[in-house]
Structure 1
Amino acid sequence: MRRWNGWGDDTHQAELADFAKALIAELLGETKPLPDASLQEALERVPPSRAPDHPLLDTSSETRIRHAAGQSFPDWLQMRSGAFENIPDAVAFPETSQQVRDLMVWAAEQDVILVPYGGGTSVAGHLACPVSEKPQITVALTRMNRLLDFDRESQIATFGAGVRGPDLEAQLAAIGYTLGHFPQSFELSTAGGWVVTRSSGQQSLRYGRIEQLFAGGSLETPKGTLEIPSLPASSAGPDLREMVLGSEGTLGILTEVKLRVTPLAETEQFYTVFMPDWESGVAAIQAITQGRIPLSMMRLSNATETDVSLKLAVPEKKLSKLNMLFKLKGLTDQKCMLTFGLTGSKKQVAANQKLATIYLKQHGAKRILSKMLGDKWKEGRFKGPYLRHPLWEHGVGVDTFETAMDWSALRPYINVIEQKVTSALKKQGIPVFAFTHLSHVYPQGSSAYTTYLFPVASTYEETLERWKIIKKVASETVVAHGGTISHQHGVGRDHAPYLPAEKGELGMSALKALSKNFDPDQRMNPGVLIASEMASSTEPA
């Protein structure tokens, strides 16, 4: 069963390796966990529902708690403490677009707030709606999860927007196709959620980001239904898909998505190679991308992440032999792990591997090409979030942030971001440990994804303040270097204060006008994207 207070299926129990425990002690010192609330304790705090009657609503306390938050760090603290700032008054479970349409009409009549809910995987505060005098109804699209139509000739598949990644891929695989969209949240996140947060899958280099895969669909708004037809291309004015992409539930609820799918590939392989240092690794993936070598993914870990990953992935005896090989090849502790994927026909994969190898050698790659490590990456590609649980139980808070910027801006950013984050709590004498990788690359630039760990405080309130300080430092550094405040996780409420730096005053006024047009009473997921009348959740108190 899905955890009520954390990530994923509660039958999956991740454990910290001895190496990880030793590393935590070395880097963060002694850590002590905070006490967790039980589900029963949390249920006893649920206030009475204010929801008006409606046949689709579930007002039970447990259902409301299970839909009260996403997976951002503030959400995590609320779940673990059992003290939620706000809990929806009810959860609706529509099964058709018409039922969502009816909910829109009913919401206007009853003056209630509507918050769309897909897989509950948001890490940017999309679901933690602020307390309001109006009843709040969460609209869970869980039951809208079927393949509704398939145009084989055009390779367009229409799904209910609540379909989760594994269910979507299983239904497509049964007819010989794939969407190829594999974010780390793949197990739980939904097609509709991918669209409205402008998600990027791990193999976006081959299949494209969700904006390339989203062909059209149906959006139910307070003003009516917006139907977006699927077209291969159009010069008939601005693309209406762009209004829906990244809208994060502020315009309405996406109920059906038309997706551009691809026949299943004949073969797929993943390899890991080692670069002498970070600069050579960055130069290699930049050259490969700008050379248009058709790989399906590339991920470059910096030296710190490389060291951690190897110790977690390779048994101690094998790692000892591998380290000896590294020395023979002249690789030092500055080496960086580069994992790449090859997808297509057997001939294509063989040819593209040769091309990639040429570029890698030109930039100093040593001849240590490991399919074992590549397979290990594939095996664990969706398991990272599960480590949050054992780390928390060990007294360690963990979070991530990501951005994307042009190559010319990326290099100076990478040189300072970890220094800024690791010293964020220096005044309090609290250590922070951070490491970074590049995982989505483009001819123009790349994403940069940083993970950081810090010891939790003696209270939940103080732990949240620590996170706020780090989040503020990280976000301000991203903005100062010209990066987007979110490459793949959306804006939500956590990132909303930093959006104007990217969009500008005129751009923000356009977003406000767009929201007002579709949602004149501002009842759709208030506070997301546009933070104007709200206190920032990222500002330290």
Structure 2
Amino acid sequence: AHPLIDTAPAARLDHARGQSLPDWIALRSGRIPFFPDGVAHPASREEVRQLLDYAREHGVHLIPYGGGTSVTGHVNVVADYPTLTVSLARMDRLVQLDGESGLATFQAGVNGPALEARLAEHGFTLGHYPQSFEYSTLGGWAATRSSGQFSLGYGRIERLVAGMRVETPRGEMVLPPFPASAAGPDLKEVFLGSEGRLGIITEVTVRVTRRPETEYCGGCFFPAFGAGMAAVRELVRRRLLMLRLATAAETGLGLVLSGRPDLVRWLSRYLRLRGVGEERCLLVYAAAGTAKDVALARRETRRVSRRLGGVDLGAAAGGSWYRNRFFLPYLRNTLWEAGYAGDALETAVPWSRAAQLVDQLAKTLDRALNGVGERVHVFTHLSHVYPDGCSIYVTCIFRLAEDPGETLARWRALKRAASQAIVAHGGTISHQHGVGTDHREFLGAEKGPLGLEHLRETGRFFDPAGFMNPGKLF
């Protein structure tokens, strides 16, 4: 065996699955058909190269593994074939910081907290905070085209990535950081979102900024979802870090989860007096910069909100979300123990189709399990916004079946119904989670036959033997 490879059963189990609902069902029921045959732990580009050569010589599939937070099947073994999972956990160094240029190069296995801590020592931040921030890695963000909670201010990962190094089966691709280039197509785009199909990302150079003097997170209640959307469309061009608009159903759930029923009753009475009733929707917004920058952003937000019927409660409404923003995924444990499953799906569409798709997804998911006599609870918010459109993030909760196989069948029914609705309304099959195995069958509807064949040919070019993370993406 190769000295970098651990074949202990515990290591193989720990790296067998990600964090999707099918992964949870498999892990909690013990029904995992395939495991990696070993887990490799390289610490350098050279050791990653050794593993690719080993895989080619011995006919072994390789699966890159960052933080194990994939929710679409990226890290799963999909066939009974010799497979190694390559954990990048040891590759977490800050390689270089060019403060004058605002560029930082990290090994790809660095996780969110470690990355921000090392940048903070030098007064910088990347500002990329996906909900998986505590565990997910820089390489994983790049490989899945991740989006952070503050992407409105700092940009999605594809804007933050300035360069990278990738070990492919055919050799190393070095993509240097340029501020801009007109020298043909940008090859970084080939590897951003490649999901381990073309090689293993070993280093990433990112654009960093000075840490802001101050940050602020506020909240504003609107009388209806349409009024909130109108405010967001106007505010998206202002200097804000984030705009997050929840539907009435999700707003109500958030108030219940606050655990402050007396305060919620007082809030409801106050909002009714201000013309905001039962269809209230919460917009959470964030700003950062100098104290003057933040004060200006707050004034503009209040002005726009007031004109559209909103009631701005400031940090009293937004602070709770900010403090608990990485906590919500852990509620899945509590739900499971209570006999319920929770899962999330997401898409993005132009503004002209957003309201219709929000409504259609709620209706589609609400009736998706009627055939088995089960109810689905649906909660929606706009999580990332752009001048031309927004992402739509939907959480659905349904009852577990006694048989894990039936629970999985219920999930599949929900996933298929939602995916079909998304495609029918011209939405992307994924705004931030990636394709993996779960969205693979719908990729063709978005890329078209020629685009899909181009992706497959690119895969064959970089990986002629087809051993890099097979069964994912395309």
Matched, 1:104 2:48: no
CA shift for structure 1 position 370: 3.1
> Which residue of structure 1 lines up, in the alignment, with residue 205 of structure 2?
258
Work out which of the residue numbers 274, 280, 289 in structure 2 matches 1:329.
274
Work out which of the residue numbers 369, 376, 379 in structure 2 matches 1:425.
369
Matched, 1:234 2:163: no
The number of residues matched between the two structures is 474
Matched, 1:275 2:219: no
After superposition, the CA RMSD in angstroms is 0.8
CA distance in 2, matches of 1:519, 1:132: 20
Deviations 1:77-131 (A, max 9, x none): 1111122121100000000000001111111111100000000000001111212
Work out which of the residue numbers 385, 393, 403 in structure 1 matches 2:329.
385
CA shift for structure 1 position 372: 2.2
State, as a whole percentage, how many aligned pairs show the same letter: 48
Deviations 1:413-445 (A, max 9, x none): 112110100100112111111010001000000
CA shift for structure 1 position 520: 0.5
> Which residue of structure 1 lines up, in the alignment, with residue 472 of structure 2?
528
Work out which of the residue numbers 344, 353, 367 in structure 1 matches 2:298.
353
Work out which of the residue numbers 436, 439, 458 in structure 1 matches 2:380.
436
Deviations 1:290-345 (A, max 9, x none): xx211100100000000110111251121121111112112111010000001101
Once the two structures are superposed, the pairs formed by residues 392-403 of structure 1 within 5 Å of their partners are 392-403=336-347
CA shift for structure 1 position 132: 2.9
CA distance in 2, matches of 1:191, 1:229: 17
Secondary structure of the residue that 1:369 maps to in structure 2? strand
Once the two structures are superposed, the pairs formed by residues 7-406 of structure 1 within 5 Å of their partners are 53-133=1-81, 135-289=82-236, 292-313=237-258, 315-366=260-311, 368-406=312-350
* Structure 2 counterpart of 1:387, one-letter code: L
Give the TM-score taking structure 1 as reference length: 0.87
Moved over 3 A (4+): none
Work out which of the residue numbers 428, 431, 438 in structure 2 matches 1:487.
431
Q: Do the aligned partners of residues 427 and 83 (structure 1) sit closer, same or farther apart at CA in structure 2, a change above 3 Å counting?
A: closer
CA distance in 1, matches of 2:170, 2:101: 31
CA distance in 1, matches of 2:252, 2:431: 25
CA distance in 1, matches of 2:188, 2:80: 31
> Which residue of structure 1 lines up, in the alignment, with residue 397 of structure 2?
453
Deviations 1:354-378 (A, max 9, x none): 1122211222212x42312211111
CA distance in 1, matches of 2:267, 2:20: 37
CA distance in 1, matches of 2:435, 2:307: 39
* Structure 2 counterpart of 1:63, one-letter code: A
* Structure 1 counterpart of 2:385, one-letter code: V
Work out which of the residue numbers 417, 425, 445 in structure 2 matches 1:501.
445
Structure showing the higher strand proportion among its residues: 2
CA distance in 1, matches of 2:462, 2:376: 43
* Structure 1 counterpart of 2:229, one-letter code: V
CA distance in 2, matches of 1:305, 1:344: 30
Matched, 1:471 2:415: yes
> Which residue of structure 2 lines up, in the alignment, with residue 19 of structure 1?
none
Secondary structure of the residue that 2:325 maps to in structure 1? coil
Secondary structure of the residue that 2:354 maps to in structure 1? helix
Deviations 1:379-405 (A, max 9, x none): 111111100001001110110000001
CA distance in 2, matches of 1:320, 1:353: 26
CA shift for structure 1 position 57: 0.3
CA shift for structure 1 position 141: 0.1
* Structure 2 counterpart of 1:474, one-letter code: A
Deviations 1:121-154 (A, max 9, x none): 0000111121233x10000000001101011111
* Structure 1 counterpart of 2:133, one-letter code: F
* Structure 2 counterpart of 1:163, one-letter code: V
CA distance in 2, matches of 1:318, 1:288: 29
CA distance in 1, matches of 2:470, 2:348: 26
Secondary structure of the residue that 2:386 maps to in structure 1? coil
CA distance in 1, matches of 2:275, 2:193: 46
CA distance in 1, matches of 2:319, 2:307: 25
Q: Which runs of 5+ in 2 are unaligned?
A: none
